[in-house]
Structure 1
Amino acid sequence: MGSKGQEPPPPPQKFALLPKIINGGIAGIVGVSIVFPLDLVKTRLQNQTIGPNGEKQYKNMLDCFKKTYAAEGYFGMYRGSAVNILLITPEKAIKLAANDMFRHYLTLPDGSLPIPRQMVAGGLAGACQIVITTPMELLKIQMQDAGRVAAQAKAEGKTFKRVTAMELTRKLLKERGIFGLYKGVTATAGRDVSFSVIYFPLFATLNNLGPKEKGSENPPFWWSFVSGCAAGSTAALMVNPMDVVKTRMQTLTKGSGERQYTSIMDCITQMLKHEGPTAFFKGGACRMIVIAPLFGIAQAVYYIGIAERLLGIR
């Protein structure tokens, strides 16, 4: 029982989902538009296999940039971006808003949120997003990797026909139904759930450690950006092996002599056998460079609260 005259506890704060979804969508579009060329290079580096004599199509990240730009020009660096920008809006909206929602409901009565609960919230948010992420990644990877396969075909004197994202979608729906767009869903779930389990608690911890704006408990814009970059790059490196497996599982058009995989275990086994453990970290540096600003920008834009201002919500 409380003492006489004691102030009653404040009413529980309501969770406003709509502005979280809008902020997440805006954050995703801004982030992807800036870092997409790096993501394209990451996909091509992860997909290339080592030839029998150790030959590689791309020596490193810079070499991939140069060759892609020389062969396809500036807009070639944005191949597949339309699909990504279209679907990143619901994807990021779901991921960021779901994490906030689960954190809200998992918060203890005393207002604390232990790390294990933060990890559960992040994992659930990652699981929610795969309904959008899987078809988005599947289509994006085909568009991004087409230039690499075309260059390989040209070098061998063969022809390669590019298809648009819409043509590919129609083809997959016709041949395999709606499940055709969900090839690699298990690997996508493995990557996104584990990434979110690491990323969100780490971001929240770093964000809370920083300086606060005058007269507010919130950190400044730049600190949310730095925290997003640090947490994103760390989580990206840790789950890179699953990202490589996912990318290869979702690549439908293989180059000459490139291996097909029947399952996640088959992909892991063949990569270990033919390419060694280092293959699981292909594109790792590039992925860190992609994810760091992507999540830094997305998290900072998300926390600015554009939607709240537009909707007049405090």
Structure 2
Amino acid sequence: MAQQQQISLPAKLINGGIAGMVGVTCVFPIDLAKTRLQNQRSGQQLYKNMMDCLIKTVKSEGYFGMYRGAAVNLTLVTPEKAIKLAANDFFRHQLSKDGGRLTVLKEMLAGCCAGMCQVTITTPMEMLKIQLQDAGRLAAQQRVMPSVVSTLKMGGTSAVLSRSYNVSPQVMRVSAIQITKELLSTKGVTGLYRGLGATLMRDIPFSVVYFPLFAHLHQLGQHSSEDPSVPFYWSFMSGCLAGSIAAVTVSPCDVVKTRLQSLKKGANEETYNGVVDCVRKILKKEGPGAFLKGASCRALVIAPLFGIAQVVYFVGVGEFLLGYTPYNIYSA
């Protein structure tokens, strides 16, 4: 068992990385729509719904406008997904070392630990991604309200005057590298972890809900107790269902996280001094319904993302590449 576990760890990391890259590529445009819908305030709504947001994005920014921030996500999604999936397997194995069956409480604890490990990678990635995803909304808001926000015109393209960055006529858009350098020079490494509390508040409950739910749904697809293998389509459906339920459950936390991690603000948009201040201002100015902004988009992002991730993870691409026999800890 020790040898099997040792040789399977690199394979699990490969599985998680490939799963994340494939999944993110497929669902990123929906994630972009989710971010822009969550960030727009009442009375300043540029987009009616997800499809309206995607259509307007393509018209104003082109097809690749839907993939703003994708490079950041793809760069860091490999270690993020590898950590999340492999850490959950590791903690499940540790909690079942006594040979007994994992209880729901232990499964939730394993998911909680996996979520905490994942946040170390997720927080900087999410913050940089949000800045790039929301840039198009701010630019569009400028075009709609030119009298409220100053704009610069160069070649028919408007550049946003950011509160966080000095924009010169030569700089048309802020890149992830620029944002990272500015944060490191002004606030140090802690600047990259802005919104850490909100990210923990979202990702830990998500993992606590998702992993036990997925494990039980996945187990229902086993052929028999003697043959614990599960068809790939069942892994996909289990990942989709568990992911969508967990995503909607923590959607209010995701709204708070998105607002806190948005460095640039549009005209008359609120700034927040922490999780409590953010929740209080949203409730006061936008009502409880604001906490469900982008919930359907988030469910549409997470469902196929984790469905694809689980299929890749359980099919054993990493084991195949390394020449090992697939090792599935869920069947232990």
TM (norm. structure 1) is 0.93
Q: Indicate the residue corresponding to 1:217 in structure 2.
A: 228
Matching of residue 228 in structure 1 with residue 239 in structure 2: yes
In structure 2, distance between residues paired with 1:239 and 1:111: 31
Match of 2:33 among 37, 41, 53: 41
Q: Give the counterpart letter for 2:92 in structure 1.
A: R
Measure, in 1, the Cα distance between the counterparts of 2:225 and 2:89. 24
Aligned residues: 302
One-letter amino acid of the structure 1 residue matched with residue 31 of structure 2: D
AA partner of residue 231 (structure 2): P
Tell me the CA shift for residue 44 of structure 1. 0.2
Query: 2:310 maps to what in 1?
Result: 299
TM-score by length of 2: 0.88
Matched, 1:14 2:5: yes
Residues 80-109 of structure 1 deviation map (CA, whole Å, 9 limit, x = unaligned): 000000000000000000000000110153
Unaligned 5+ segments in structure 1 are: 1-9
Against the structure 1 CA distance between its residues 114 and 213, is the aligned structure 2 distance closer, same or farther, given a 3 Å change threshold?
closer
Secondary structure of 2:270's match? Answer: coil
Equivalent residue letter for 2:21: I
Instruction: Give the secondary-structure state (helix, strand or coil) at the position aligned to 1:293.
Output: helix
Give the whole-Å Cα distance in 2 for the aligned partners of 1:81 and 1:213.
Answer: 41
Worse-matched range after superposition: 207-216 or 192-201: 207-216
> Contact 1:213–1:220 at 8 Å: present in 2 too?
no
CA distance in 2, matches of 1:204, 1:253: 40
Question: Residue 19 of structure 1: CA displacement?
Answer: 1.2
* Letter in structure 2 aligned against 1:14: Q
Residue type at the aligned position of 1:66: I
Aligned to 1:272: 283
Contact 1:134 1:184 in 2 (8 A): yes
- Quote how far apart the aligned CAs of 1:110 are: 3.3
1:115 equivalent in alignment to 2:74:
no
- The answer for the alignment partner of 1:152 in structure 2 is 141
**In 1, Cα distance between equivalents of 2:60 and 2:4:** 55
CA offset digits 1:168-191 (Å, max 9, x no partner):
111111111111110001100110
Q: Structure 1 residue 64 and structure 2 residue 53: aligned?
A: yes
The answer to whether the aligner puts 1:140 opposite 2:129 as a matched pair is: yes
Mapped partners of 2:194, 2:121: distance in 1? 13
Amino acid at match of 2:24: V
> Aligned AA for 1:42?
K
Tell me the amino acid that sits aligned with residue 25 of structure 2.
S
Structure 1 distance, partners of 2:5, 2:81, is: 22
Match of 1:98 in 2: 87
Deviations 1:16-52 (A, max 9, x none): 322111110010000000000000000000000002x
CA contact under 8 A between 2:222 and 2:228: conserved in structure 1?
no
What's the C-alpha RMSD, in Å, of the aligned pairs? 1.7
Show the counterpart of 1:78. 67
What residue in structure 2 maps to residue 88 of structure 1?
Answer: 77
The answer to whether structure 1 residue 28 and structure 2 residue 31 are counterparts is: no
| TM-fit CA distance, 1:202 | 0.2
Distance 1:141 1:73 in 2: 19
1:252 corresponds to which of 230, 245, 263: 263
CA contact (8 A) 1:211 1:223 kept: no
Unpaired runs of at least 5, structure 2: 152-159, 161-171, 326-332
Q: 56-65 or 120-129: which moved more?
A: 56-65
Q: Give the match for residue 125 of structure 1.
A: 114
User: Which amino acid is the alignment partner of residue 261 of structure 1?
Assistant: Y
Amino acid at match of 1:284: A
Could you tell me how far 1:57 is from its partner in structure 2?
A: 1.3
Find out whether 1:188 has 2:199 as its counterpart. yes
Matched-pair identity in %: 58
Structure-2 separation of matches of 1:13 and 1:190? 35
Quick check: 1:49–1:56 contact (8 Å CA) kept in 2?
A: yes
1:203 counterpart residue number: 214
Kindly state the Cα deviation for residue 216 of structure 1 after the two structures are TM-superposed: 3.7
**Aligned twin of 2:295:** 284
